Amino acid sequence: MSDPVVTRLAVIGCGLIGSSVIRAARAKGAAGQIAVYDLSPGVRERVTALGLADAVFDDPTKAVEGADLVIFATPPAIIGVVAGQAARGFAPGAIISDVGSVKAAVGEALRAACPDTVFVVPGHPIAGTEQSGPDAGLAGLFENRFTILCPQEDRADAPYLAAVEKLSAFWTALGAKVETMDEKHHDLVLAVTSHLPHLIAYNIVGTADDLQNVTQGEVIKYSAGGFRDFTRIAASDPVMWRDVFLLNKDAVLEILGRFTEDLQALSRAIRWGEGDKLEALFTRTRSIRREVIDAGQESAAPNFGRDKREG
Amino acid sequence: MSDPVVTRLAVIGCGLIGSSVIRAARAKGAAGQIAVYDLSPGVRERVTALGLADAVFDDPTKAVEGADLVIFATPPAIIGVVAGQAARGFAPGAIISDVGSVKAAVGEALRAACPDTVFVVPGHPIAGTEQSGPDAGLAGLFENRFTILCPQEDRADAPYLAAVEKLSAFWTALGAKVETMDEKHHDLVLAVTSHLPHLIAYNIVGTADDLQNVTQGEVIKYSAGGFRDFTRIAASDPVMWRDVFLLNKDAVLEILGRFTEDLQALSRAIRWGEGDKLEALFTRTRSIRREVIDAGQESAAPNFGRDKREG
């Protein structure tokens, strides 16, 4: 096996994504040593019990010492604060990155918190599950999924570009396909492909839970009609998603505005009995799933292949 | 093996659901003989090639002859018309049912089309996939899923109750759990658990496809952030879903109104930075997924277990 891409990896915040990074790095031999910090004593205990890290710290400054790659995987709103706490420990030349679902706000916070001696390269793997915590991590989570890096556009110096290259090599080693993008565009794209879907799922599950004339028992029993799909996304980590909507407010509200406009038009088509319009939309959307499957981002099996008997 | 529940089953319209009924009936020995009618020559050819039926007809009147159970599985809007065409062939005492996702309008159309010599008991199995056609059917589709029957409330005579009992036994034999409900309540419950989720999924996929500042390629590549889930439902049969929204207009628009109200409140919470409200909703919705899983209506595996590597 060739030398690991990263000599010492520090993962700050070890939930679903942090622990998946660690598991993938171990499985692929992408990191020599792995250090972990988490604010929660319970999480630190689980990380220790699971044997995920070479060293587990209750102080972020200690955790990042000697690391050539530091990945912040806390809820997005506190990344800047924790980076500020850790900053004294950063090794000169270290790459400082993250996995947050919002990039402009988090990138700004990271750059503000970090000294000039390190290279800040914000990142975001487009992968996850609805589960949380260090036990939920999966070694294969990033396989064939995209990771977006948002290098600073005002830096074209060789050391910075080398840092971007190394971070890209790390994610590639974990099985991901790496793309670069500017932070604002990332936030708009993800508002469409991730933030709005989550908002809508949380909302519809909330609506169904609140009705008077349909009982919660009925909603649960007959959920296989479509509703159950939405409950998966609406089971995602509440704190992380609170942060995403607050930190990417503008893009989310913009895309939500478009969604609402379209929904009003669709509602009017139903009210007016315009079957042709409905059928045309439903035919167009059908072809998009085929493209998602062809792009390797989705299972072709019916119902996601979730029920063995349906396979 | 005991005698089949049904001596001769006629399935009128042989797509995903019709062919799943046949496959399940064969697998469970629930029907002695099976006759099929479909309007489409291509579908009739596939049904023949797949060996699904004992006899395939191009005339609904012939297909229903001698059948003690006739199940209409065409798109919902034409069930009444096709039932009218078939009516001359109905055997006296036959049970006439369907699988349509809307019950008040379809039940009314069925009753109008059928002579007094048969027993009309509308039905709806809450099961499906995003795929269509006779090749898409699955023998296990109804296993552990609910089938709702909507018997006429103005009939308590013994022959009618015996017909309801026999239809219930048929679905039970196919693996389903049977519930009865009045048609209007069915339409309201399904507006929540199925019709609104489909409407929202179609809409969000349409919105994402229409944007100028985010390319379709980006939407596809980064769809694993949540969007891909919605593409599954939005790949469902366009004609069937056109019919559902037109036939269940009132209930769909009522529930859509509630959804839109809630979405406005959520949007305002984001705009005003009310993190506590967001977190409270997201925490509440998380627990609902647990109930759906506990009710046996969903896989507990992360990401629906769709990616083997994630299992």
Are A194 and A176 in a shared domain? no
**Chain A residues near residue B298 by CB distance under 8 angstroms:** 223-224, 228, 231-232, 306
CB contacts under 8 A, A 245-304 vs B, are 245-246, 249, 252-253, 255-256, 258-260, 262-263, 266-267, 270-271, 273, 275, 278-279, 281-286, 288-292, 295, 297-299, 301-304
Classify residue B304: in a domain, yes or no.
no
A247, HSE (Cβ side, Cα atoms, 13 Å): 28
Q: What is the mean pLDDT of residues B41-61?
A: 98
**Chain A residues near residue B292 by CB distance under 8 angstroms:** 220, 223, 228, 231
Share of chain B above pLDDT 70, in %: 98
pLDDT at position B2 is 76
3-state secondary structure of B72: strand
CB–CB contacts below 8 A, A to B: 372
Summarised one tens digit per residue, pLDDT across range B228-274 is 999 999 999 999 999 999 999 999 999 999 999 999 999 999 999 99
Contact A211 B227 (CB under 8 A): no
Classify residue B297: in a domain, yes or no.
no
Classify residue A215: in a domain, yes or no.
yes
CATH code of the domain covering residue A264? 1.10.3660.10
pLDDT at position B1 is 58
Share of chain B above pLDDT 90, in %: 96
Are A27 and A164 in a shared domain? yes
Q: Is the pLDDT of residue B308 over 80?
A: no
Classify residue B307: in a domain, yes or no.
no
* Residue B53 burial (C-beta neighbours within 10 Å; 0-12, 13-18, 19+): buried
Q: What is the mean pLDDT of residues A282-296?
A: 94
pLDDT at position A206 is 95
Confidence of residue B212 (pLDDT cuts 50, 70, 90): confident
Classify residue B18: in a domain, yes or no.
yes
Compute the nearest-CA separation of B290 from chain A (Å).
9
Residue of A nearest to B220 (CA): A292
pLDDT at position A310 is 44
Last residue of a domain, one of B181, B201, B228: B181
Are A255 and A143 in a shared domain? no
pLDDT at position A163 is 98
Are B174 and B256 in a shared domain? no
Q: Is the pLDDT of residue B99 over 90?
A: yes
Contact B238 A288 (CB under 8 A): no
Are B120 and B235 in a shared domain? no
Minimal Cβ distance to A259: which of B204, B255, B278 = B204
**Chain B residues near residue A236 by CB distance under 8 angstroms:** 282, 286
B17: contact with A, CB 8 A cutoff: no
Are A132 and A190 in a shared domain? no
Q: What is the mean pLDDT of residues A150-173?
A: 97
A127: contact with B, CB 8 A cutoff: yes
Over chain B, what is the mean pLDDT?
Answer: 96
Contact A203 B263 (CB under 8 A): yes
Q: What is the mean pLDDT of residues A257-263?
A: 97
B151 neighbors B121 (Cβ within 8 angstroms): yes
Exposure class string for B177-207: b at 16+ Cβ within 10 A, else e: bbbebebebbbbbbbbbbbbbbbbbbbbbbb
User: H helices then E strands: how many in chain B?
Assistant: 13, 9
pLDDT at position A221 is 95
pLDDT at position B258 is 97
Are B189 and B175 in a shared domain? no
Classify residue A171: in a domain, yes or no.
yes
Classify residue A309: in a domain, yes or no.
no
Minimal Cβ distance to A310: which of B129, B234, B267 = B129
Cα–Cα distance between B143 and B136 in angstroms, integer? 16
Mutate one of A16, A138, A184, A220 to test the B interface: name it (highest B CB count within 10 A).
A220
B58: contact with A, CB 8 A cutoff: no
Maximum average pLDDT range among A259-263, B1-5, B207-211: A259-263
φ/ψ (deg, to 5) at B33: -120, 155
Tell me how many domains chain A contains: 2
Contact B235 A209 (CB under 8 A): no
One-letter amino acid of A4: P
**Chain A residues near residue B205 by CB distance under 8 angstroms:** 285, 288
CB contacts under 8 A, B 66-105 vs A, are 101
Please, what sign has the CA dihedral across residues B119, B125, B130, B135? Answer: negative
Residue of A nearest to B299 (CA): A306
Q: Is the pLDDT of residue B310 over 50?
A: no
pLDDT at position A308 is 58
Are B159 and B240 in a shared domain? no
pTM: 0.94
Q: What is the mean pLDDT of residues B180-200?
A: 97
Calculate the dihedral angle through the C-alpha atoms of B119, B120, B121, B123, rounding to the nearest 10 degrees.
140
Share of chain A above pLDDT 70, in %: 98
Confidence of residue A1 (pLDDT cuts 50, 70, 90): low
Please name every residue paired with B299 in a beta bridge, in sequence order, or none if there are none: none
3-state secondary structure chain A: CCCCCEEEEEEECCCHHHHHHHHHHHHHCCEEEEEEECCCHHHHHHHHHHCCCCEEECCHHHHHCCCCEEEECCCHHHHHHHHHHHHHHCCCCCEEEECCCCCHHHHHHHHHHCCCCCEECCEEECCCCCCCCHHHCCCCCCCCCEEEECCCCCCCCHHHHHHHHHHHHHHHHCCCEEEECCHHHHHHHHHHHHHHHHHHHHHHHHHHHHCCCCCHHHHHHCHHHCHHHHHHHCCCCHHHHHHHHHHCHHHHHHHHHHHHHHHHHHHHHHHCCCHHHHHHHHHHHHHHHHHHHHCCCCCCCHHHHCCHHHC
Q: What is the mean pLDDT of residues A57-84?
A: 98
Domain boundaries, position B225: 185-273
Are A105 and A162 in a shared domain? yes
Which of A176-185, B75-84, B297-306 has the weakest average pLDDT? Answer: B297-306
Contact A126 B275 (CB under 8 A): no
Query: Distance of CA B22 to CAs B28, B30, B94, B204, B274, Å?
Result: 10, 9, 18, 34, 53
**Chain A residues near residue B128 by CB distance under 8 angstroms:** 224-225
User: What is the token pair recorded at B9?
Assistant: 């089953």
Q: Is the pLDDT of residue A264 over 60?
A: yes
Last residue of a domain, one of A166, A181, A196: A181
A163: contact with B, CB 8 A cutoff: no
pLDDT at position A2 is 76
Are A177 and A189 in a shared domain? no
Cα–Cα distance between B89 and B191 in angstroms, integer? 34
Classify residue B119: in a domain, yes or no.
yes
Contact A233 B246 (CB under 8 A): no
Are A32 and A119 in a shared domain? yes
User: What is the token pair recorded at A123?
Assistant: 């990142």
Contact A197 B303 (CB under 8 A): no
Last residue of a domain, one of B157, B181, B205: B181
**Chain A residues near residue B189 by CB distance under 8 angstroms:** 214, 218-219, 222
Contact B273 A246 (CB under 8 A): yes
Mutate one of B146, B193, B308 to test the A interface: name it (highest A CB count within 10 A).
B193
Cα–Cα distance between A122 and A71 in angstroms, integer? 9
Cα–Cα distance between B171 and A26 in angstroms, integer? 50
Contact A207 B245 (CB under 8 A): no
3-state secondary structure of B49: helix
Contact B140 A306 (CB under 8 A): no
Summarised one tens digit per residue, pLDDT across range B67-98 is 999 999 999 999 999 999 999 999 999 999 99
Are A69 and A189 in a shared domain? no
* Nearest Cα to Cα of residue B192 among A218, A199, A285, A196: A218
Contact B226 A270 (CB under 8 A): no
Contact A234 B282 (CB under 8 A): yes
Please, what sign has the CA dihedral across residues B284, B285, B290, B294? Answer: positive
CATH code of the domain covering residue A112? 3.40.50.720
